[in-house]
A and B are shown apart, each in its own frame.
Chain A
Amino acid sequence: MNIRKMKVVITLLIAAMILLTACGAQPADKVTVQLSWFHGVEYAGFYTALEKGYYADENLEVTLNAGGPEINPIDEVLNGKAQFGITSGDSIIIAKTNQQNFVAVGTIFKENPLAITSLAEDNIQKPDDLVGKTVGVYSLDLSNFFDLPFLALLSRTGLDRESMNYALIEDFQGANEIKAGNMDAMSGMFATDQQVMAQEAGDELSLIYYKDYGYDVYINTIFATDEFISANPDLATRLMRATMKGYQYAIEHPEEVAALALTYDSTLDLNYQEEVMKAQIPFIDNGDGPLGSMNESIWKNTQDILLEFNLIAAPIDLSTVYTNQFVAP
């Protein structure tokens, strides 16, 4: 072999090596997730997956878009600004009936945290105890979508809507409205946040969980369009694997991940985030199956309520709106 031939071979080898190296380092898949609300420790699993490199390990480049009152994750995902969104299970079913085909691939909270809160000293322990009391609601005629749980509760417990009085909640912080005498109980509160806020104010709350009285709905499912999931099942698997790994880390290190939330919104209170993180552990993980996994019965319950209150016209095939295939044990 003469030198010229050798040079050619070496050049080819180097070229092949460069090509192979380039192939090995595929560009990361870019994914945007539209959060359901402002930044907070509720999304700790996402923060952890980002900060601990779980997404990077899955070759994902994830962007988290904060939500807010003006942002509907359904729309954001539908118009392609985000590939994944976070919203409640009932929203997914309603969207389905509007020919907006989404599929929930997991849930952050396995238990619904919504509750009717009151001061423990008032001894309001069950719905019956609300009779004759003033209940804080989102709309006095209970037409607001956030009043749906209360309507469902009335319906499931057989309580008369007129057996109690209503007041509009204006201050959502802890038990301020109750202590101000505006109301005896507040409807539709997050057990986690509300309880922590009240505790910080030195108040002990009594909680009536909606899930115990007929309203059991997943409130923060992770979803994407049918088309996207069908086209990118591997990406969905990787995203959920990393995210749930993040949540597992989060519930095992609540204080550490609370600090992470502050890197996304520096106005957050660290202590508050820590307490909320600890409070939400049993909602994220109740011991019933893998993190993020969902139960058919809850989806069924959700649909039943929607049907009952005419939010959807007809039942749908629930297997089309959620799947557990992306949340491995």
Chain B
Amino acid sequence: MNPNQVISQSPTKRRFQFPQFTSLQSRLLLSFILLAILPVLITGIAASIISAQGLRTEAFNRLDAVASQKENEINTLLNVLKTNLDLISEDSEAQQNILTLLQNAPNAEINPQLLRNDLASFVEKTGYYTEVFILNSDGTIVISTNQSQEEKIQKNQEYFIQGLNTSYVTPPTYEVALSNYSIVISQPVKNQSGRIVGVLAGRVNLSTFNEIMQQRSGLGETAELYLVSSNYAVLTDLQHGELNLGETYIRTEGVTTAIRNKTSGSAIYADYTDATVLGVYRWIPSLQIALIAENDQDEALQAATVVFQTTLTLILVTVLAAILVSFLVTRSITLPITKLVNVSENIAQGNLNLQAEISQIDEIGALAKSFNYMTDQLFQTLTSLEQRVVDRTRALATSTEVSRRLSTILDEKQLVNEVVEQIKTAYNYYHGQIYLLDESGQTLVLAGATGEGGKALLEKDHSISIERGLVGRTARTKAGVLVPDTSKDPEWVPNPLLPETKAEIAVPILLGDQLLGVIDMQDNIVGDIYPEDIEYLTAIANQVAIALQNSRSYTQARQRAERESLILSINQKIQNESTVASALQVAIREVGHALGTSTRVTLKKNNGTS
């Protein structure tokens, strides 16, 4: 895989844009967090909703069940109350006394106090009634357990009017004379012949109903059960408010619906404390009142709230975990990239020997590896390039130096040695030598050489034929020859005095077309001599050629001058001689002296005749 491809593809192929999160890190981070939150959030909300619905249904069912139970209890109580009144009728003695009282039997004397006591003991026995009383057919209370009520005319009261015909229960009504709400249960009193002669009535105050409503079995802490009369007055104690009978009114949605529509149902609404409740309302027709069962919504849905809170906590934890994980993962992705970027920026500034750290074996690791390889290659290329520049500069300097020196050296031997030494040093060759072509033009004579090997060769007056070896080829072809690896050149002739030679270069010393000699350089490293060295050496060779020419011209000129001065001095010496013979003597001596031979000129005929 080529890591470069990944980088170059990403900007063009990316379809989804994060407009505000431009860095890789933020995009990854966001993606991780979203990925982590969404499932938790969806699951959590769904769970909350489902559990809330379930709990709500359950709460409503429970309220409904309790409301039904209370309604039953109320109706049962009403039945019990009616049945209890019947008990009085069944007491034959009491019944007899009542009838006597109602029918105003002229002969029968009854003691009202006895009857009152009978009724009172009955009230005590049943424990429900606050007052039991009997009305005559005119609606006047003829006897009552509450004596102050006797003689009151109740003919306009529904319990009297209805009680004449049937068993009747009044709705809870406020009796100003008694300063209380109460219900009255009434039923006709019939005489032996079945004629209705009065009404038997019992008054029950609301505490009995209050007791029923306060038993809130099966309901939660905040649940509440209460009764409301059709005028919205609260009849039983409230959990969250004070009850003043006849002064406390409640008009919540549940109460209003039940009373106005005389219906039962359930709803969620604000209760009298303005708290949101799940409410079940019942219209109780027998008493014309509303029964209300309410449960605080928060309490009912507490479990759902717990689910919701748990979800929130989970989301929080997940987000934190996602942030941590994504931070780490993102870091592991972006950090090496950032490092690579830093390295490449440094490299861009020319710091080529930096290396990217390879700590991973993934794609980024591969990228770093190939990046390092690339950098390395670049470094090497640049380094060798620099080396070459250094070499070239040095060669040029050598060339300049050589030419400067050459112009001052007129002695050929010194010149050659100087040149060969300069080149060897400048190019760091192993060995250097210069051959000069002799007059025959067939032999190249070693004129200068470096090192011990060179000295030995010079002492031997080493020379080679132009037919032999690299030097010979150079001389023949009058062109530079380079052998980077001498072991691979068949023409190469090893020299035992130069055992380390591995590479060799030879350039001709040409003056115009005339070959003067050959510069031969040898190196002990294979491939350490470069083709451009031919150019450098050729340039130097050209200088050497000119210098050689100069040197030779100078030598010739000096010899001619010496000869002319010798001739002149001989001439003078001869002219100084007075005799021919002595002149000849001098001439012979001087010439011989000049020629370096002991020439003996013998004059045979006569000593003074020449």
Which residues in A have some Cβ–Cβ distance to B below 8 Å? 111, 113, 125-128, 156-157, 191, 207, 209, 211-214, 216, 248, 251-252, 254, 278, 281-283, 285-291, 295, 297-298, 300-301, 329
B246 and A282 contacting across the interface, CB-CB below 8 Å: yes
Inter-chain CA distance A287–B260, complex, in Å, is 14
Give 5 A-B contacts (CB < 8 Å), ordered by A residue: A111-B176, A126-B151, A290-B230, A290-B231, A291-B231
Given contacts A251-B249, A287-B181, A329-B259, contact A282 B174 (CB under 8 A): yes
Given the interface pairs A213-B153, A251-B249, the reply to whether A125 lies near B161 with Cβ below 8 Å is no
* Distance in Å: Cβ of B366 to nearest Cβ of chain A: 74
B172: Cβ under 8 A from any A Cβ: yes
Given A278-B247, A285-B231, A287-B229: A214 and B174 interface contact (C-beta under 8 Å): no
Least Cβ–Cβ distance between B271 and chain A, in angstroms? 16
Q: Are A213 and B152 in contact (CB under 8 A)?
A: yes
Q: For the complex, give the distance between the alpha carbons of A216 and B173 in Å.
A: 17
B173 touches A287 (CB 8 A): yes
- Would you give the shortest CB distance from B258 to chain A, in whole angstroms? 12
Q: Is B71 an interface residue (CB 8 A)?
A: no
Q: Which residues of B contact A281 (CB under 8 A)?
A: 246-247
Decide yes or no whether B156 CB sits under 8 A from chain A. yes
B151 to A157, Cβ gap below 8 A?
yes
The residues in B between 140 and 199 inclusive whose CB is less than 8 angstroms from any CB of A are 148, 150-158, 161, 170-177, 179, 181
Question: In the bound complex, what is the Cα–Cα distance between A207 and B152 (angstroms)?
Answer: 13
Is B419 interfacial (CB-CB < 8 Å)?
A: no
| Nearest-CB residue, chain B, relative to A284 | B231
**Residue B102, interface by CB 8 Å:** no
Q: Which residues of B have CB within 8 Å of A157? A: 151, 153
Q: Is the CB of B246 within 8 A of A212?
A: no
Residues of A within 8 A of B260 (CB): 329
User: Any chain A CB within 8 A of the CB of B233?
Assistant: yes
The A-B contact count (CB < 8 A) is: 82
| Cα–Cα, bound, A126→B148 (Å) | 7
B230–A329 CB distance below 8 A: yes
Task: Looking at the assembled complex, report how far the CB atom of B231 sits from the nearest CB atom of chain A, in whole angstroms.
Answer: 5
Q: Contacts A207-B177, A287-B229 hold; do A212 and B247 have CB atoms under 8 A apart?
A: no
Q: CB within 8 Å of A: which of B229-250?
A: 229-233, 246-247, 249
Across the interface, which residues of B come within 8 angstroms of A288, CB to CB?
158, 170-171, 173
How far, in whole Å, are A248 and B249 apart by their CA atoms in the complex? Answer: 9
Give the residues in chain B near A290, CB-CB below 8 Å: 230-231
Whether A125 touches B155, Cβ cut-off 8 Å, given contacts A111-B176, A289-B230, is no
- B247 contacts A216, C-beta separation under 8 Å: no
Give the distance in Å from the alpha carbon of A157 to the alpha carbon of B260 in the complex: 40
Question: In the complex the two chains form, what is the Cα distance from A159 to B238 in whole Å?
Answer: 46
Closest chain A residue to B248, Cβ basis: A252
Question: Which 3 pairs show the lowest CB-CB distances between chains A and B?
Answer: A212-B152, A297-B156, A282-B174
Q: How far is the CB of A206 from chain B (nearest CB, A)?
A: 10
A294 to chain B, nearest CB (A): 11
- A213 vs B157: C-alpha distance when bound (angstroms): 12
Question: Which of chain B's residues 211-233 have a Cβ closer than 8 Å to chain A?
Answer: 229-233
A142 to B244, CA, bound (A): 40
Q: A111–B176 Cα gap in the complex (Å)? A: 8
Shortest distance between the CB of B172 and any CB in chain A (Å): 6
Q: Using a CB–CB distance below 8 Å, which chain B residues touch chain A?
A: 148, 150-158, 161, 170-177, 179, 181, 229-233, 246-247, 249, 259-260
Q: Using Cβ atoms and an 8 Å threshold, which residues of chain A touch B173? A: 286-288
What residues on A are CB-neighbors of B150 within 8 Å? 126
Given contacts A126-B150, A281-B246, contact A287 B231 (CB under 8 A): yes
Tell me, in angstroms, the Cα distance from A290 to B181 when the chains sit together.
Answer: 16
Among A128, A248, A283, A297: residue with most chain B CB under 10 A: A297
Residues of A within 8 A of B157 (CB): 297
In the bound complex, do residue B230 and residue A287 qualify as a contact, i.e. CB atoms below 8 Å apart?
Answer: yes
Q: Which residues of A contact B170 (CB under 8 A)?
A: 288
Given A191-B176, A251-B249, the answer on whether A287 and B152 have CB atoms closer than 8 Å is no
- Expressed in whole angstroms, the Cα–Cα distance for A126 and B177 within the complex equals 12
Q: From B154, which residue of chain A is reached at the shortest CB distance?
A: A212
Residues in chain B near residue A300, CB distance under 8 A: 156
Shortest distance from the beta carbon of B151 to any chain A beta carbon, whole Å? 6
Q: Is the CB of B155 within 8 A of A287?
A: no
A126-B148, A157-B151, A209-B176 known; A285-B233 Cβ under 8 A: yes
Contact across chains for A287 and B176 when beta carbons are under 8 A apart: no
* Inter-chain pairs besides A157-B151, A252-B247, A297-B158, 5 sampled, C-beta below 8 Å: A282-B176, A285-B174, A287-B181, A287-B229, A287-B231
- Give the distance to chain B from A241, nearest Cβ to Cβ, in Å: 13
Q: How far is the CB of B26 from chain A (nearest CB, A)?
A: 56
User: Which A residues lie within 8 Å of B171 (CB)?
Assistant: 287-288
A287–B233 touching, CB < 8 Å: yes
Interface centre among B177, B181, B229 (most CB of A within 10 A): B177
Contacts of B172 in A (CB 8 A): 287
Bound-state CA distance A248–B250 (Å) is 11
Contacts of A252 in B (CB 8 A): 247, 249
Write the nearest CB–CB distance from A90 to chain B, whole angstroms. 14
Interchain nearest-CB distance for A200 vs B (Å): 19
Q: Are B153 and A212 in contact (CB under 8 A)?
A: yes
* Distance A285 CA – B234 CA, assembled complex (angstroms): 12
Closest to A278 in B: B247
Q: Name B156's contact: one of A126, A251, A285, A295 (CB within 8 Å).
A: A295
Residues of A within 8 A of B176 (CB): 111, 113, 191, 209, 282-283, 286
- Closest approach, in angstroms, between the C-beta of A307 and any C-beta of chain B? 15
**How far, in Å, is B110 (CB) from chain A's closest CB?**
19
Give the residues in chain A near B152, CB-CB below 8 Å: 126, 212-213
B148 CB to nearest A CB, Å: 5
Q: Which residues of B contact A209 (CB under 8 A)?
A: 176-177
B151, closest chain A residue (CB): A126
B-side contacts of A283, CB under 8 Å: 176
User: Most A CB atoms within 10 A — which of B152, B153, B161, B174?
Assistant: B153
A126 contact set on B, CB distance < 8 A? 148, 150-152
Residue in A156, A248, A282 whose Cβ sees the most chain B Cβ within 10 Å: A282
Contacts of B259 in A (CB 8 A): 329
Q: Which B residues are in CB contact (< 8 Å) with A211? A: 156
Return chain A residues, CB-CB under 8 Å to B177. Answer: 207, 209, 212
CA distance A19 to B173 in the complex (A): 52
Taking the closest CB of chain A, its distance from the CB of B201, in whole angstroms, is 14
Tell me whether A216 and B156 are in contact in the complex, defined as CB-CB below 8 angstroms, given that A282-B176, A282-B246, A287-B181 are known contacts. yes
Residues of B within 8 A of A125 (CB): 148
Shortest beta-carbon distance from B139 to chain A in Å: 9
List of A residues within 8 angstroms of B154 by Cβ: 212
The interface residues of chain A lying within 8 Å CB-to-CB of B161 are 297
Minimum Cβ distance to chain A for residue B199 (Å): 14
Which residues of chain A come closer than 8 Å to B179, judged between CB atoms? Answer: 282
The residue of chain B having its C-beta at the shortest distance from the C-beta of A254 within the complex is B247
Closest to A291 in B: B231
- Bound: A128/B590 CA distance, A: 205
Q: Say how far A115's CB is from chain B's closest CB, in angstroms.
A: 9
How far apart are the CA atoms of A214 and B148 in the complex, in Å?
16
A248 shortest CB reach to chain B, Å: 8
CA distance A100 to B175 in the complex (A): 34
Residue of B170, B173, B229, B230 with highest tally of chain A CB at under 10 A: B173
Q: Are B156 and A301 in contact (CB under 8 A)?
A: yes
Shortest Cβ distance from B177 into A: residue: A209
